[in-house]
Amino acid sequence: MSHQPSLNNLAAEWRAARTLHPLYAALAREFVIEAPLCNDLESGVDAPPQESVEQARQWLLDMDGRIQVHQLRQFLQTTSLTNDENLRTLLLHHLQKKQRTEVDRDKIDFLLVQYFSYCAPSRLEDADVDLDYVAQVLEPALGSVDLEVPEWLGALDGLLQSANRSQNLSQLLGSGILDKGRKLKTSAGENYYLPVAMVAFTRFSFLIRRVFFRLMHQDLNAILDGLRTLEEQGVTVLDCRSAQFSAEEPIVRLRMICQSWKVMFHAEYSSGSPLQMLVDLHKVVHAALAKQGTASKSKAAAAGVQVSAQAHSTDVPEFEVSSAPQEWDPDAPSATDSEDNA
């Protein structure tokens, strides 16, 4: 005897599908994803037959297969359609799947953090983000959670402590903390979906994201401050080949790139190529500042010798050093090369 879903379940599933349809349609438009039509969802029917609900279910599953994780991340962090209900419905849609792939897990992992971030106060202190609080915020999606933490999740606290000791983005990426966190999620298998595990991973990812953005903004601001100082000293271009740019990269263009990075990195963080470019550019700018500082000291010393030689004259004019900035040698060692690579 076949099992027929209840009318209440069908009605709830249809409401969820109608909530998700405009989200998926907007995401498809933004990333030019070919989306098949679902006529009843398009027309907004209030009480469709069971056949229409099943078609909507298949449409959502089809769209899930077309939407990549990075597209979902970028869309939900930039669209005006994001709200409590939409995020919770999208999260529950993925959690309730009978068969979940690794891509589904990655989407769920992001949605948990995004939902928590949206619902939590903006001025929430790190110390207040304990398991009890995270479980409380996630309760509308996960229900009541038993917070007896399995031993295999204990590594997360150590990774968080290591991340908080990172002084810059280079140290955070070089430490492998992000990769270790991902590997722990992957190795968990089906245990990832234990409610206590999802709460623990949400807390970890939320706090790691905070560390990442703090260090990312710190590095970007250091680069922008350095570029401004170099411009004041007459430098207009930098040899940025070590950061995958040109040998004569205009400082004006570097500043524009840094501003665009501030927006882009809000959508996704990883140890990928753009982040490595940011880390390498930080080193380039730091080395250029060190080079200019050395040149300035040499000029000051030369000026001192000249003033001393003229000290016996009573009509010595005010002395001013004025010369073109020296070319920067990209092969010159940076004072922080060893520190940044630690």
Going by C-beta distance under 8 Å and a sequence separation of 6 or more, which residues neighbour residue 175? Answer: 162, 163, 166
Per-residue model confidence as pLDDT tens digits over 188-209 = 999 999 999 999 999 999 999 9
Q: For the chain, what is the mean pLDDT?
A: 81
Per-residue model confidence as pLDDT tens digits over 82-102 = 899 999 999 999 999 988 999
DSSP assignments along 76-126, one per residue: HTT-TT--HHHHHHHHHHHHT-SS--HHHHHHHHHHHHHHHHHHS-TT--G
| Whole-structure pTM value | 0.76
Q: What is the pLDDT of residue 122?
A: 82
Alpha carbons 126 and 145: distance in angstroms, whole number:
21
Per residue, the 3-state secondary structure of 288-334, as one string, reads HHHHHHHHHHHHHHHHHHHHHHCCCCCCCCCCCCCCCCCCCCCCCCC
Alpha carbons 82 and 128: distance in angstroms, whole number:
25
Per-residue model confidence as pLDDT tens digits over 286-339 = 999 998 876 555 455 444 444 333 333 333 222 222 222 322 232 333 323 333
Q: What is the pLDDT of residue 327?
A: 29
